[in-house]
């Protein structure tokens, strides 16, 4: 892992994404650069947290496109939140329409 957290300055705004990393692709030497915004969704209002996470994701993705276009942004969410909230049809529609790339985690383990 690298750049924990990943700091980007774009258009006069300082942005801090939770985790920068390089994920190797198959047996190639060159790695695919990623950034991960980790959310835990612990408040009583999952939809409010989702609104905040979506807004951050869109802003971070815009900044990455301008400042580090070879880096792909992911939103990391807990497995329990994915199962009971991200599988709702409205949330799936929003995820698809906004092209959110998700990483699902449980504890310290990445599942998807």
Along the chain (112 residues), what's the average pLDDT of each consecutive run of 10 residues? Answer: 73 78 46 86 92 94 92 92 96 97 82 63
Residue 7 has a pLDDT of 84
- For residues 32 and 23, the answer to whether their CB atoms sit within 8 Å is yes
Task: Give the closest residue to 105 by CA, choosing from 73, 86, 70, 81.
Answer: 81
Q: Side-chain half-sphere of 24: how many Cα atoms within 13 Å?
A: 4
- Count CB neighbours of 51 within 10 A: 12
Contact predicate 5/18, CB 8 Å: yes
Q: Which two tokens stand for residue 64?
A: 């990455």
The pLDDT assigned to 80 comes to 94
What pLDDT sits at residue 52?
92
| Residue spans per domain, the chain | 6-110
- pLDDT for 3 equals 55
Q: What is the CATH number assigned to the segment(s) 6-110? A: 3.40.1350.10
Neighbours of 81 (CB within 10 A): 19
């Amino acid at each position: 892992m690298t750049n924990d957290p990943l700091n980007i300055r774009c258009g006069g705004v300082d942005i801090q994404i939770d985790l920068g990393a390089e994920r190797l692709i198959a047996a190639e030497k060159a790695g695919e650069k990623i950034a991960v915004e980790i959310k835990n969704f612990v408040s009583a209002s999952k939809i409010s947290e989702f609104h905040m996470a979506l807004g951050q994701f869109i802003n971070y993705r815009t900044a990455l496109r301008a400042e580090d276009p070879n880096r792909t942004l992911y939103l990391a969410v807990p497995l329990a939140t994915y199962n009971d909230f991200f599988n709702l049809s409205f949330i799936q529609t929003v995820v698809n329409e906004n092209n959110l790339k998700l990483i699902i985690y449980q504890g310290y383990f990445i599942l998807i």
